[in-house]
């Protein structure tokens, strides 16, 4: 028997992937919610994101699977190469690997538009309020009172709800109230991000990871373009030279040429990485410091909890952050279905997710699945005649499976369970 929920209205702070997908899940189970976003206008960036099958499975249960598949690329392969362009490891992905759902590489902008469109259709345009930056909150008489300011810093009123969910990213104001003075952890690396139209490479739906810890590139197509071309999303990692000023801001304009110069010689028969970076329009290249935050012991405090990057900001390794944010929201919705007491529900959600996500933060700092790149570099910096002279098949297979199991998206786990929230589920 379903528990009779005491929760009627949820305040969601943050209008990114985690906040919007959570709003759709809450609406699916019959709970009211409103999303408050700090920026005055939502203008999603077109850079790429990978949605793993565990997340696509949940987004399909929300009725969005076909829209997402049509807007992106159904990833078929993940391939790792050393800096000489020699193949280290390749594995099928998505349906090609036996999943019941695909892996979808998609523009963040298109994903955001699809989520926003679904909210407008199902909940209404009033469900997302922009230009509201959270300045504080408190619990009072069994409710949460949230206070906001407008972009100029003037008070913008209050919101009253049964719960408050911090979905406001790595610089979360909600998290800061529980962990004041906490600093982001910067590992000394910079990554460039760009998008460029080009001809397909490898299978035409391959994600390629090249190099090693100190110098690597990740590339994958996110959209089909006219004339048989594809839009490629790329990331390029490099250590920041000693003496460089600290980089505090995210998504700042980059010196494209500084990136291009560091990838000279990265031209292979199957893909000209250097040429692709050089062909990227300068205005389409950003630079970001490689940061995360240390794991924390609690996400849930009374009627308030954290999801997505607010809960477990992690380095962009293994294409996990966006997918895990979607799963967070689904597990949270399921907990609200299962527990009459909303405080108990938030605790149940935390208990289901926090250990695995804290482990993922640490795994990503150690390169996750991409650790095989660093092992190959250390054992054979000049290249190899065959990868099994450097890494055994067992090492490769066990590393790949261990990461997927830890992240909860191995084939058996994803295929053997139902959605965390049944499509017909309602909290009553």
Q: Does residue 99 have a pLDDT over 90?
A: yes
Edge to edge, the sheet with strand 133-140 lists 133-140, 143-149, 155-161
Q: In this predicted model, what pLDDT tens digit does every residue of 309-343 receive, in sequence order? A: 999 999 887 678 889 999 999 999 999 999 989 99
pLDDT band for position 290 (cuts 50, 70, 90): confident
Tokens for 147?
């206070």
Question: What is the spatial distance between Cα 190 and Cα 239, in angstroms, rounded to a whole number?
Answer: 6
Q: Does residue 42 have a pLDDT over 90?
A: no
From the list 27, 53, 14, 4, the residue with the least C-alpha distance to 421 is 27
Question: What is the spatial distance between Cα 227 and Cα 156, in angstroms, rounded to a whole number?
Answer: 49
Q: Does residue 424 have a pLDDT over 90?
A: no
Supply the pLDDT for residue 32. Answer: 96
Measured distance between the N- and C-terminal CA atoms of the chain, rounded to whole angstroms: 11
Tokens for 220?
């994958």
Fold of 9-53+108-184+294-368+408-416: FAD/NAD(P)-binding domain (3.50.50)
78 and 375 Cβ atoms separated by less than 8 Å: no
Mean pLDDT of the chain: 91
DSSP readout, 375-412? HHHHH-TT--S-GGGTS-HHHHHHHHHHHHHHHT-SHH
Q: Does residue 92 have a pLDDT over 60?
A: yes
pLDDT band for position 428 (cuts 50, 70, 90): very low
Q: In this predicted model, what pLDDT tens digit does every residue of 202-254 receive, in sequence order? A: 999 999 999 998 899 999 999 999 999 999 999 999 877 666 655 555 567 77
């Amino acid at each position: 028997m379903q528990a009779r929920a005491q929760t009627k209205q949820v305040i969601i702070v943050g209008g990114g992937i985690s906040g919007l997908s959570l709003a759709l899940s809450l609406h699916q189970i019959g709970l009211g919610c409103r999303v408050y976003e700090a920026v005055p206008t939502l203008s999603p960036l077109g850079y790429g994101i990978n949605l793993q099958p565990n997340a696509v499975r949940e987004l399909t249960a929300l009725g969005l699977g076909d829209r997402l598949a049509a807007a992106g690329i159904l990833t078929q392969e993940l391939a790792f190469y050393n800096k000489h362009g020699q193949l280290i490891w390749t594995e099928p992905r998505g349906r090609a690997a036996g999943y019941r759902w695909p892996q979808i590489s998609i523009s963040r902008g298109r994903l955001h538009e699809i989520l926003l469109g679904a909210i407008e259709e199902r909940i209404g345009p009033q469900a997302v309020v922009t230009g509201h930056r959270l300045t504080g909150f408190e619990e009072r008489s069994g409710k949460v009172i949230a206070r906001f300011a407008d972009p100029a810093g003037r008070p913008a009123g209050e919101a009253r709800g049964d719960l408050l969910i911090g979905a406001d990213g790595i610089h979360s104001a909600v998290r800061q109230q529980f962990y004041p003075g906490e600093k982001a952890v910067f590992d000394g690396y910079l990554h460039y991000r760009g998008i460029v139209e080009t001809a397909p490479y490898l299978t035409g739906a391959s994600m390629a990871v090249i190099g090693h810890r100190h110098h690597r590139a990740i590339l994958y197509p996110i959209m089909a373009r006219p004339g048989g071309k594809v839009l490629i999303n790329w990331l390029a990692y490099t250590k920041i030279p000693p003496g460089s000023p600290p980089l505090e801001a995210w998504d700042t304009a980059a010196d494209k040429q500084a990136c291009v110069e560091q990838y000279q010689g990265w031209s292979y028969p199957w893909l000209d990485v250097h040429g692709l970076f050089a062909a990227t329009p300068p205005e389409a290249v950003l630079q970001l410091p490689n940061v995360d935050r240390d794991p924390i012991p609690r996400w849930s405090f009374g009627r308030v909890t954290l999801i997505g990057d607010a809960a477990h900001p992690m380095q962009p390794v293994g294409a996990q952050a966006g997918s895990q944010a979607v799963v967070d929201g689904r597990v949270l919705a399921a907990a609200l279905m299962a527990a009459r007491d909303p405080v108990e529900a938030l605790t149940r959600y935390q208990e289901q997710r926090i250990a695995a996500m804290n482990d993922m933060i640490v795994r990503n700092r150690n390169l996750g699945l991409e650790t095989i790149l660093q092992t190959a570099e250390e054992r054979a910096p000049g290249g190899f005649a065959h990868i099994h002279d450097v890494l055994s098949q067992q090492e490769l297979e066990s590393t790949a499976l261990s990461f997927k199991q830890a992240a909860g998206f191995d084939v058996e786990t994803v295929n053997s369970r139902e959605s965390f929230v049944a499509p017909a589920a309602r909290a009553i």
